[in-house]
Amino acid sequence: MKKKVLVTGGTGYIGSHTVVELQEAGYEAVVVDDLSNSREEILGRIAQITGKRPLFEKFNLCRQEKTLGLFDRYPDIVAVIHFAALKSVGESVARPLDYYYNNLVSLIHLLEGMKKHRVPAMVFSSSCTVYGQPDQLPVTEEAQVKRPASPYGNTKKISEEILQDFLVNHHAMGVISLRYFNPIGAHPSGLIGELPQGIPDNLVPFITQTAIGLRKELKVFGRDYNTPDGTAIRDYLHVTDLARAHVVAIERLLAGQQKHPFEVFNLGTGQGVSVLEAIRSFERVSGVKLNYRFVDRRPGDVEKVWADTRLANTELGWEARSTLDDAMLTAWNWEKKYRENPFSDE
């Protein structure tokens, strides 16, 4: 019997890539997603890649009875990977209550279900946004957690606090919180990838949509940062590397290898890349000249952040394998392939 892992948000960008890695590692994924920012067709794409369509339940985890009922119906779930959340920084500033409600209530319901059914392990989807602008780079897990600049970021910080408080009295449980830097790229098959609704907020989908002609130009936010070329620096990691880290984290939890009930790991490449370097990488691998223009800084953006990944390297035995160019190429292939064959109503 394959071990069942509940993947909330499993049709989303990182979730879908993680379901692929999980199934390829011999687990059975149970996906819960309300499809508010993803598509049911992703399940078929996952089946094309892995040969198995994941089990699927469509609902929002804020529905308490549904969430608790799910654990009743799948009593053999051994672990949870919790991705499901609202994630747009700008939208969270405009609709803070929706963000706090959705992201925190869903986590609480999941923990209630896990407690009742004694599910011992959770991997939580956190973000480097909890560090704000770090005082030292690369940033380690020991760095001070600052008040995030957005309600979205604050939901990640508060979620980590809820998890830590919960674990104080639930000794049989373990949680690994993975703080992602900037995930980019797509599955090498070109069958799944990032699919933003409307105008993309994030750099790489904006680049690929501009290159394919959906957007007129990329606006580069700020050229007066204190960085070598004046543009902001991030740590971009390939989503398949990121997805693999979740499988490794699940294995650590299930093998009882945790050193502490609440562990935190940075997931990045350890390399800082500027916006201009990212654009150059895209141009190099795609052969497309990108139309871009410098504009003012985007409010809330930090100047530079990249990960110290030594803890993930040594403790999880995980490291990013793909290069920036690999990631850009898969993002571009996904964009091209998707536009040739989009989902029905796009």
Q: Which residues are catalytic?
A: 152
d(CA 182, CA 132): 14
Told to check if 237 binds ligand UD1 by CB under 6 A, we report: no
- Dihedral pair phi/psi, residue 267, rounded to 5°: -120, 110
Judge contact between 125 and 82, C-beta under 8 A: yes
Give 273's contacts (C-beta < 8 A, 6+ positions apart).
Answer: 233, 234, 235, 236, 281, 324
> Which residue among 7, 32, 85, 89 contacts ligand UD1 (CB under 6 A)?
89
251, 301, 315, 326: which one binds ligand UD1 (CB under 6 A): 301
Q: Does 273 bind ligand UD1 (CB under 6 A)?
A: no
Tokens 């989908």 label which residue? 205
Q: Is 275 in the site for ligand UD1 (CB under 6 A)?
A: yes
Query: Binder to ligand UD1 among 218, 239, 249, 267 (CB under 6 A)?
Result: 218
Tell which positions 187-216 bind ligand UD1, by CB under 6 A. 201-203, 206
227 vs 313, beta carbon nearer ligand UD1: 227
Taking Cα atoms as reference points, which of 52, 44, 58 lies closest to residue 8? Answer: 58
Comparing CA positions, the residue from 283, 264, 258, 267 lying closest to residue 318 is 267
For 67-80, give the DSSP string: HHHHHHH-TTEEEE
Q: Which of 7, 232, 243, 307 is close enough to bind ligand UD1 by CB under 6 A?
A: 232
Could you say which residues in the range 309-338 bind ligand UD1, by CB under 6 A?
none
Question: Smallest distance from the beta carbon of 72 to ligand UD1, in angstroms?
Answer: 33
Examine residue 262 and tell whether it contacts ligand UD1 (CB under 6 A): no
- Per CB under 6 A, residues contacting ligand UD1 are 87, 89, 127-129, 153, 182, 201-203, 206, 218-221, 232, 234, 275, 298, 301-302, 305
